[in-house]
């Protein structure tokens, strides 16, 4: 197929230009068939619906679904559906159109081939609370699903430093002490990032959070702060918070090394 046509189609999808799409289809009625029958040329192999969903073009999405509804089930090179893109970018209206196109539970539970991210995981890791919440409401089974690295939605919400998502998941009864492939709990991950102060504070206020669990490296959350600490007021504040909550250092406990601020 003419690569110029494909380039114009990508640009129309990126801009949400329905008039351009209709002109392209008039010139080449089988234009969209290429994205269903064979993967197109290109590094990421994104079809026009992937692009439109990522950009949040609702009307353009509707037009594409009317012309070629199969696009909603097509995956790119990373194994991601258009729904992954809409969820990651926080586009609720686009998500609704995609979901209405396919009333199938497997849509919500479709992992990509790179990280094992389902659409809700994409929303969580990108700090998109509203789209994550919508996907959970549509299919609560996703709460029990993990990525290839055994990350839960809670792990990803913490990595994204999204306190709204963390609160929501805690209120749903999600276990904050689940471990990823490196045996990191949510508190371990939060302590790896200095700007996660509010998330750390919230987790420490939760009675069920284990303060002294050790990861695969034998480190507690306090160890992580102490080993990479500076003289900043933020670090000193985090150390006080953890110790006030009963936090101890595994390294400190076995007498091999002592850290302190």
Domain assignment of residue 127, yes or no: no
Task: Give the H or E element holding residue 164.
Answer: helix 163-171
Domain assignment of residue 81, yes or no: no
* Residues of the domain holding 201: 175-261
Domain assignment of residue 241, yes or no: yes
Enumerate long-range contacts of 133-139, CB under 8 Å, 24 or more apart: 133/165, 133/168, 134/92, 134/95, 135/87, 135/95, 135/108, 136/172, 138/99, 138/108, 139/105, 139/108, 139/109
For 186-239, the pLDDT digits (tens) are 999 999 987 899 999 999 999 899 999 999 999 999 999 988 766 667 778 899
Asked if residue 22 has pLDDT above 70, the reply is: yes
d(C-alpha 229, C-alpha 244), whole Å? 18
Tokens of 91: 């586009």
Task: Count CB neighbours of 22 within 10 A.
Answer: 13
Domain assignment of residue 209, yes or no: yes
For 107-116, the pLDDT digits (tens) are 899 999 999 9
Tell me if 204 sits within 8 A of 242, measured CB to CB. Answer: yes
Tell me if 119 sits within 8 A of 153, measured CB to CB. Answer: no
CATH of the domain at 216: 1.25.40.20
Number of separate domains in the chain = 1
For 164-184, the pLDDT digits (tens) are 999 999 999 999 999 999 999
Asked if residue 185 has pLDDT above 70, the reply is: yes
């Amino acid at each position: 197929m003419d690569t110029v046509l494909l380039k114009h189609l990508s640009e129309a999808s990126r801009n949400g230009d329905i008039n351009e799409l209709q002109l392209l289809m008039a010139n080449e009625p089988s234009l969209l068939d290429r994205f269903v029958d064979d993967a197109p040329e290109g590094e990421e192999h994104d079809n026009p619906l992937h692009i439109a969903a990522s950009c949040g073009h609702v009307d353009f999405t509707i037009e594409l679904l009317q012309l070629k509804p199969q696009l909603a089930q097509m995956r790119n090179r990373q194994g991601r559906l258009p729904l992954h893109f809409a969820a990651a970018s926080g586009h609720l209206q686009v998500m609704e159109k995609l979901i209405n196109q396919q009333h199938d539970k497997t849509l919500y539970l479709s992992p990509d081939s790179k990280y094992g991210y389902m659409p809700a995981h994409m929303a969580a890791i990108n700090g998109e609370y509203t789209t994550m919440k919508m996907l959970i409401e549509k299919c609560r089974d996703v709460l029990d699903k993990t990525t290839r690295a055994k990350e839960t939605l809670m792990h990803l919400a913490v990595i994204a430093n999204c306190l709204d998502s963390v609160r929501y998941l805690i209120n749903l009864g999600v276990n904050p002490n689940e471990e990823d492939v490196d045996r990191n709990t949510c508190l371990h991950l939060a302590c790896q990032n200095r700007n996660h102060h509010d998330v750390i504070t919230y987790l420490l206020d939760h009675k069920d959070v284990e303060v002294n669990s050790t990861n695969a490296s034998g480190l507690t959350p306090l160890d992580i702060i102490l080993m990479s600490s500076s003289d900043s007021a933020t670090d000193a504040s985090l150390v006080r918070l953890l110790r006030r909550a009963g936090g101890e250092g595994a390294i400190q406990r076995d007498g091999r090394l002592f850290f302190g601020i």
